[in-house]
Amino acid sequence: MLNDSFGRTLTYARLAVTDKCNLRCTYCMPEEGLKWLKNAQLLSTSEWKKMLEVLASSGITKIRFTGGEPTSRGDFFEIAEHAFQMKAFHSISITTNGTFNEKNSELFFQLPWNGVNLSIDSLNAERFHAMTKRNEVHKVQQTLEQLLQHKIKTSINAVILEHHNEEDILELTQLTKDKDVRVRFIEEMPFNGKEYHHAVKWNWKKLEQELAQHFPSLTPVPFESGATAQNYTIDGHVGQVGIIAAYSRTFCGTCNRIRITPEGFVKSCLYAPPSLLLRTLLREGKTNEEIQHALEAACLTKPKDGFAAEEMQVTKNFQSMASVGG
């Protein structure tokens, strides 16, 4: 089992299989993109498969594939299929932007996902392009409809930025009226691949006030241990709405997750520096047991919360979200 020094058992791993993405969301990376990792720096197909085995034997029961855009990796579906075939995880989910080509869409919907987080900051074509620098909103809309048709548990993730997509707070919430989805609004974080700067109007409290003003029956549901979103019901709505206080970090106390970056670094907190490079152990031919012991030791360095993690950073120049996983 993986435990930290605060008595928390870590059962959830977020796996960023690539740093590459076809969109250029303003809060995630610069418009010109990033200095992409070379293939030799990335964990290979076989290394990811071995990593999955180590995680399973370490007590990880839930995994989520992230990126970058995970489906942009050429061997992604081979890695994902291996995870399902192991039958070792209670939950296998993915965070994606949903801009699939026809081949990837077919492969995607062949897998029995336990949950899909669909990143949609706006369903308005003009605002979508302004935020992502791409004209791909029609593909995202198609993916959303397919998810609902396949009855896959779907959450919509939207980062709300001042002067960018504030109108979408209400427009996206209206989706929950007759669609069985969870729309979650996320505070902007400083992981944009640029110099650290953060002044957020739409924090969790402001988001909650905005929702309550327009939906008076907004009612919080009990907060689940290990969750990141405070969810709410609205009378007459099939779905739910939620708020993720990613910058305020109000949910850190029950955190049960670790992250593995595309090159194999272990991050025990999104705001913390890496604590272990698994790629080195994998390429040195270490056994699963040896890697598991190293992972156990790394988890003991997990900070109490995101604020303590931020203090561990040497500089305040945070990486892009695409290079560390959401």
Using CA atoms, how far apart are residues 228 and 215, in angstroms rounded to an integer? 22
Kindly report, residue by residue over 244-288, the tens digit of the pLDDT. 998 888 889 999 999 999 999 999 998 888 999 999 999 999 999
Using CA atoms, how far apart are residues 130 and 127, in angstroms rounded to an integer? 5
pLDDT at 199: 57
> Is the previous residue joined to 68 through a cis bond, with omega within 30 degrees of 0?
yes
Using CA atoms, how far apart are residues 32 and 320, in angstroms rounded to an integer? 13
322 vs 242, more confident: 242
Bridge partners (DSSP) listed for residue 260: 15, 266
46 vs 190, more confident: 46
Q: 2-324 architecture in CATH?
A: Alpha-Beta Barrel (3.20)
pLDDT reading at 168 higher than 80: yes
pLDDT reading at 31 higher than 90: no
What confidence category does residue 318 fall into, taking pLDDT thresholds of 50, 70 and 90?
Answer: low
Query: In percent, how much of the chain has pLDDT > 90?
Result: 79
pLDDT at 256: 96
What does pLDDT average to over the chain? 93
> Beta strand pairing status for 229-233 and 240-244?
antiparallel
pLDDT at 198: 57
pLDDT at 267: 94
pLDDT at 323: 66
Kindly report, residue by residue over 192-246, the tens digit of the pLDDT. 666 555 557 889 999 999 999 999 999 999 998 989 999 999 999 999 999 999 8
pLDDT reading at 314 higher than 80: no
What confidence category does residue 317 fall into, taking pLDDT thresholds of 50, 70 and 90?
Answer: low
pLDDT at 249: 87
pLDDT at 252: 92
Based on its alpha-carbon atoms, the radius of gyration of the chain, rounded to whole angstroms, reads 19
Q: Are 25 and 121 in contact (CB under 8 A)?
A: yes
How many CB atoms neighbour CB 55 within 10 A? 27
Angle at 146 (CA atoms; ends 64, 52), nearest 5 degrees: 20
Calculate mean pLDDT across residues 81-101.
97
Q: Left, alpha or beta for 174 (phi > 0: left; psi -120 to 50: alpha)?
A: alpha
DSSP codes joined into one string, 116-185: EEEE-S-SSHHHHHHHHSS--HHHHHHHHHHHHHTT--EEEEEE--TTTSTTHHHHHHGGGGTS--EEEE
Spell out the domain ranges in the chain: 2-324
Question: Side chain identity at 269, as an amino acid letter?
Answer: C
Calculate mean pLDDT across residues 135-153.
97
